[in-house]
Structure formats: structure tokens, C-alpha cells
Amino acid sequence: MGEKKGKDTREGVLIRDFKKEDVDCVYKIIEENFPRPWIKEQILLENIFSYKVVLEKEGKVIGVLFGEIIYEEANILLIAVKKEFQGKGFGKLLLEHFIEICKNKNTKKIFLEVSTDNKKAVNLYKRYGFKDFSIRKKYYSDGSDAYLMVLEI
Ligand SMILES: CC(C)(COP(=O)(O)OP(=O)(O)OC[C@H]1O[C@@H](n2cnc3c(N)ncnc32)[C@H](O)[C@@H]1OP(=O)(O)O)[C@@H](O)C(=O)NCCC(=O)NCCS
């Protein structure tokens, strides 16, 4: 994860590497957005393919994107924005950042899973050219289905 540096994307906003000190902030963001939040140990897990960044606004962590970049393929494992800051373009900044990093690493495809009921996220991904190529029935604990989506870059 060495070459990632903090990147100013717009005034007062910084996308930077996740640090273990961010675990509580990231946990809170996940907790308020997902019915079955990750445990803190999961948030801290990483391997050589991990790509983990947070979005800071005026020094506070308000967004998170965790992914993996495995040579020509990448996965988005988590993207979330603090509720009070949703709908203001921060999700787009995180996704654009990840797509840009993947392009620079010659990644050919980015994969993700998303609930078919999660209109906000599905719209966000479609806006950037992700296509759904399969459905996993009853994938989530609430019985909802998941789209498998891919962006070819
Ligand atoms: C999904 C999420 C990351 C998007 O981040 P965000 O900062 O709220 O979204 P943005 O303001 O950047 O908007 C990005 C796009 O999402 C879609 N979107 C955002 N809010 C929406 C809403 N209320 N209804 C429908 N689509 C919406 C739009 O396509 C929008 O693009 P546009 O404004 O150009 O039309 C964020 O809402 C979130 O954290 N949701 C809960 C966690 C989650 O579901 N994560 C994804 C799991 S796969």
C-alpha cells in the first residue's frame, strides 16, 4: 500500500490511507449504515492486496473505502459515508479515487456486490459505468438479493 499518499480532492477534503487509529471512526460509520456491522478486528484485517482509504473533511473521518487490488482485478469490499454527509458527493469522490488508482495500476476489472434494494449505491455504481452481470438470490441476512457488478476499465 506504499505509494498511496494523501490526495486533496476538494477544499477541506482529503483521501488518505486508513490507519489503525481510525478503527473507531470507521466502526461508527459502518455501524450506522449496515444492519450487521463488521467487528473491529475485521476492520483492521488486511493482506498484501488490501487498499484501504478514509475520506477526511476538516480533519474528521466521514467516509471509508476498503478494497483489494489483485493484479488485473480489483474488488470493492466496503464503501460508506457518514449519514449526515450523504448525498453531497463524497461517495463519488471515494469511488472516483479508487477507479483512478486501479487505472494507474493497470487493473482491468473492478467487482463489487450490492443489495438490489440499495438504490443509492446501485445508482452510484451505474453512474460510473458498473454493469450488473449476475444476481445472488437471498444473499443478505434480510433476504434481499445481491447484484454482482463489474466495471471494465
Ligand atoms: C452509497 C453511498 C456510499 C453513496 O455516497 P454518497 O456520498 O451518499 O453519494 P453521492 O452524494 O456521492 O452521490 C453519488 C450518486 O449516488 C446516487 N445517489 C445518491 N443519493 C441518492 C438518493 N437519495 N437516491 C438515489 N440515488 C442517490 C446518485 O447516482 C448520485 O449521483 P448524482 O448525484 O450525480 O446523481 C452512501 O450513500 C452510503 O454510505 N450508503 C450506506 C452504505 C452503503 O450502502 N454502501 C454501499 C454498499 S455496496
Which entry of 51, 125, 140, 147 is annotated as an active-site residue?
Answer: 125
Provide the 3-class DSSP secondary structure of residue 113: strand
Model confidence at 142, pLDDT cuts 50, 70, 90, reads: confident
Q: What is the pLDDT of residue 7?
A: 53
Q: Is the CB of 89 under 6 A from ligand 1?
A: yes
Q: What is the pLDDT of residue 10?
A: 72
In the annotation, is 51 catalytic? no
- Tens-place pLDDT, residues 84-116: 999 999 999 999 999 999 999 999 999 999 999
CATH number of 7-112: 3.40.630.30
In the annotation, is 125 catalytic? yes
Residue 33 identity: N
Q: What's the pTM?
A: 0.93
Look at strands 109-115 and 73-81 and give their pairing.
parallel
- Give 5's DSSP letter: -
Model confidence at 9, pLDDT cuts 50, 70, 90, reads: low
Q: Is the CB of 37 under 6 A from ligand 1?
A: no
- Strand ordering across the sheet containing 73-81: 7-10, 13-17, 50-57, 60-70, 73-81, 109-115, 146-152, 131-136
Q: Is the CB of 140 under 6 A from ligand 1?
A: no
Q: Which atom of ligand 1 is nearest to the CA of 81?
A: 39
Output the residue whose Cα is nearest ligand 1's atom 39.
80
Q: What is the pLDDT of residue 141?
A: 85
How many angstroms separate the alpha carbon of residue 83 from the centre of ligand 1?
Answer: 10
